[in-house]
Structure 1
Amino acid sequence: METKEKLAPFHATILVFMIQSGVMALILPQLLAESFGTNGWITVLGFGLMASVNILLIGAVYKLGKGRSIFQILEQSIPKFLLLPVYLALALVWTLLGCMAGKEYILIFQMYAFPTTSPMEFKLILDLLVFWLLTKGLYNMAKASTVFFWLFIWMILLLFFFYGDFKWARLTPFMFKGGKFTFLEGLDIYSSFLGYELVLLMFAYTNQKTKLIKSTLLGNAMTTFSYLYLSLITFGLFSLEQLKNKAFPLLELLAYIRFPFLERMENLLYGFFLFTVLFSILLYEWCALEMLKQVFPKMKTNFLAFILIASCFAIAYIPKTLNEVGDWLSTLSMIECGIAFGFPLLLLVVLMFQKIGSRPAHE
């Protein structure tokens, strides 16, 4: 049963950070090098700022809507039968995003650590864990994310291992030389910040005293700093051409870490990324579940959650390779970028009409 307890600001901040951080961190430096060339790491600040602007847009919805859920806002002005296709479409996008994010992580993990094991065996275990957490409700999910946060965040200290090999000369005095920026690659980079838009569905799980938008901005700032720090280190360790040719620069870094009592350290460390990937999947599936609850209000939540996760597992059979999963994610990320900016704008338009309609007649 869903708890009636509200999200605390600290839990909201950690939840946003855990949603945003994920597998994209493994390839972000390569994307920055490919798109912007020399000193491409600086552009992380720009992408983080764009995300902050989007969060402020969501904040305007939260303030004008006085903390009402997006369902209350929409259904006050639009007949529900017109909204049902929208709910189903959003549920489909978020279901597929969670599904493909999980499949990408598992394919990378299988490739590096268990090349002879079926990836779908790992996917089954991951989906069972997602289903179990999904049935616990958002408040318990947020508390669990805080625990997993501390299990994951210590990894940023590992970058100290590379200070001795870091060379400022590799950054060069030139800005953005040797890159080939395209709009689609820009969206791929921006997708590494996506996840904050899911707070749109958390309005009903907070109260006006909870600084939801400030917490979201803080979580996004933590993500931006983490990405900036990681990108700076990788640009100072590898040449531009090396970065362009490395599929997973972060895994290459982890492979340099050696302990006398442990081999293939990167396999163990990569396993810690499961904590962030898990919550990226979990929150996208939770949002999809919230949409399905509006479409099928008479169905039990746990049954809907089971159908949702079972569908995810079945869909994961379709793409077989990392390239195929990457193509799915690129398409879904473009759609999600549209949702992240377009959905708050739609809600603001609806709220403006509601405000105009509620004004008293002229005296």
Structure 2
Amino acid sequence: MSKYSFNQISLKQYIFIIFETQVGIGILSLPRDLAKTAGTDGWISIVLGWLLSVLLSLVIIKIMEKNPEYTLFELLSKYFGKWVGKSLSVLWILYAAYAASVVMFSTIHIVKVWIAPDIWDFILMILFIIPIYMMTKQGIRVIGLFAELVFLISLWMPFLLLFLLKNIEWLYLLPIAKEGLFPILSTVKSTLLSFLGFELAFILYPFLKDKKSASKGIVIANSLSMITFLMVTVISFVKFSPEEIKDYAYPTLNLLKLIRLPFLERLEITFLSFYLFILFMTIIPYIYTAVLGASQLSGKQDHRNTLRILMCLWIFLSFFFHPSFSQVSQMGKSWGMAGLYFAAVFPLLLWMYGWLFHLARKEQKQ
């Protein structure tokens, strides 16, 4: 019997966790970021970024297939020994905690700008921490159930884009590759960062009930993210002019301001209120990764004490750290650079090392 048999997630939950982690914060500013570097050809970079994320995801699954009962932190100790393994685990814990912190402070910033500019940061922090703590402390099984719920209550959101399919200018997309291939290829790195979240397969795989479908599941999750990114980006490109879109910090929310419904004003506020659940589902898997790693490193079964310490640290920081848009953007960029190493470089190196590790073990047995 698997040691995680009482804390497993279904394939559907596995897909939703990865998908919701990916679309979270990045989709709000993605059209602007792409327009700045690749113009209206940025949608091509999304497809290329999807291809890279799928390939890297499959590398992660290949690594975990050889060690199905190990989390990443246990695997690192197995491959590299106690001290090197623990050092690498600490880096992963810091990365996951920083990713969660970036999304948390970015969420507070967005809510203050768009909904409640006069509210104190620490009040928002406390309000947001309550559901995040309640979900994370219960473990991966409850997080999986919450991911299903979030998917169901957000199904109506893509249909809002249908209201924008009038008075649009498709000619903004033409000619394709008007600036050449270099801007498109140079933007692929940015789009790959938008797909961050697939690296959590390192953590989710041991808890997955149907491990044989892990590859299929992660391809579906990445593909759902690509479709979502493409829909939002293309509609932004044909609704706003190529120069106008660069003036908006969060073009996705600016799109919603253009929708007029007879029974509802300020649709972007309603949207953002529901979208908070998706943002929470970006924070929760990363924070769970951090506290799970810390508990496994210290040899404890219960991760709740570590979680409480981190929550208290967030509340303490919110009293004096009030990031501006430029600071939030800089934090996002630094997370992206770290993500490039942890989600792209690290899996490739670990896959090659693991291949040599298992090869050496086979030779020793012979």
TM-score (normalised: structure 2)? 0.91
Residue range with higher mean Cα deviation, 349-358 or 42-51: 349-358
Find the aligned partners of 1:187 and 1:318 in 2 and give their Cα distance. Answer: 29
2:291 corresponds in structure 1 to: 289
Contact 1:149–1:275 (8 Å) recurs in 2:
no
8 Å contact from structure 1 (residues 9, 210) kept in 2: no
**Amino acid in the other structure paired with 2:108:** I
- Residues of 2 paired with 1:89 and 1:108: CA distance? 28
Q: Distance in 2 between matches of 1:178 and 1:292?
A: 47
Check whether the contact 1:319–1:325 (CA below 8 A) recurs between aligned residues.
Answer: no
3-state SS of paired residue (2:154):
helix
Mapped contact 1:70–1:203 kept (Cα < 8 A): no
Cα separation, 2, equivalents of 1:137 and 1:362: 38
How do 1:209-358 residues align onto structure 2 when only pairs under 5 Å count? 209-298=211-300, 300-316=302-318, 317-358=320-361
Match of 1:151 in 2: 153
Change (3 A) 1:178 1:269: farther
Matched residue SS, 2:323: coil
Q: Is the 8 A contact 1:289 1:304 kept in 2?
A: yes
Specify which of 28, 37, 46 is matched with residue 26 of structure 1.
28
Please state whether the residue corresponding to 2:8 is helix, strand or coil: coil
The match for 2:41 among 30, 39, 42 is 39
Give the direction of change, closer, same or farther, for the CA distance of 1:313–1:91 in structure 2 (3 Å limit). Answer: farther
Q: CA shift at 1:107, angstroms?
A: 0.9
Q: Quote how far apart the aligned CAs of 1:362 are.
A: 9.3
Change (3 A) 1:203 1:40: closer
Contact preservation (8 Å) 1:35, 1:180: no
1:138 to 125, 140, 153: 140
Q: 1:335 to 1:184 in 2, by over 3 A?
A: farther
Q: 1:206 aligns with which of 170, 184, 208?
A: 208
Per-residue CA shift, 1:58-106, capped at 9, x if unaligned?
1221233345433343222322133222222221221111111111122
Distance 1:169 1:184 in 2: 24
1:237 Cα offset (Å): 1.0
Write out per-residue CA displacement over residues 118-138 of structure 1, whole angstroms, 9 at most, x where no aligned residue: 122112111121111111110
Question: CA-to-partner distance for each residue in 1:250-272, whole Å, 9 max, x for gaps?
Answer: 11110112223332121111112
Instruction: Verify the 8 A CA contact 2:38 2:184 in the aligned structure 1.
Output: no
Instruction: Give the counterpart letter for 1:330 in structure 2.
Output: K
Q: Percent identity of the aligned residues?
A: 22
Secondary structure at 1:165's aligned position in 2? coil
Q: Do 1:135 and 1:305's aligned partners in 2 also have CA atoms closer than 8 Å?
A: yes
In the TM superposition, what is the alpha-carbon distance from 1:44 to its structure 2 partner?
1.1
Q: Distance in 1 between matches of 2:186 and 2:327?
A: 16
Deviation at 1:5?
Answer: 3.7
Describe the SS at the equivalent of 2:24.
coil
Q: Give the paired residue count.
A: 362
Q: Structure 2 residue aligned with 1:81, among 83, 104, 117?
A: 83
Q: State the one-letter code of the partner of 1:228.
A: L
**Residue pairs, 1:171-182, within 5 angstroms:** 171-177=173-179, 181=183
Alignment CA distance shift 1:46-1:176 (3 Å): farther
Post-superposition offset of 1:306: 0.6
Q: Is the Cα contact below 8 Å between 2:44 and 2:184 reproduced in 1? A: no
Q: Does 1:163 align with 2:165?
A: yes
The RMSD of aligned alpha carbons is: 2.4
CA distance in 2 between counterparts of 1:10 and 1:123 reads: 30
Aligned residue identity for 2:167: D
Deviations 1:234-282 (A, max 9, x none): 1111110111222211111101122233321211111121111101100
Q: Report the CA distance shift for 1:3/1:113 in structure 2 as closer, same or farther (over 3 A).
A: farther
- 1:15-46 CA-to-partner distances (Å, cap 9, x unmatched) read 11111111211111111111101332222111
Structure 2 runs not aligned, ≥5 long: none
List aligned pairs for 1:106-145, cutoff 5 A: 106-145=108-147
- Alignment CA distance shift 1:358-1:131 (3 Å): same
Q: 1:109 to 1:77 in 2, by over 3 A?
A: closer
Q: Which ranges in structure 1 are unaligned for 5 or more consecutive residues?
A: none
Q: Which amino acid aligns with 1:257?
A: I
Cα distance in 1, alignment partners of residues 313 and 264 from structure 2: 39
- Aligned-pair CA distance for 1:313: 3.1
CA-to-aligned-CA distance 1:292-314 (integer Å, 9 cap, x gap): 01222247321111112222333
Q: For the Cα contact (< 8 Å) 1:7–1:210, is it kept in 2?
A: no
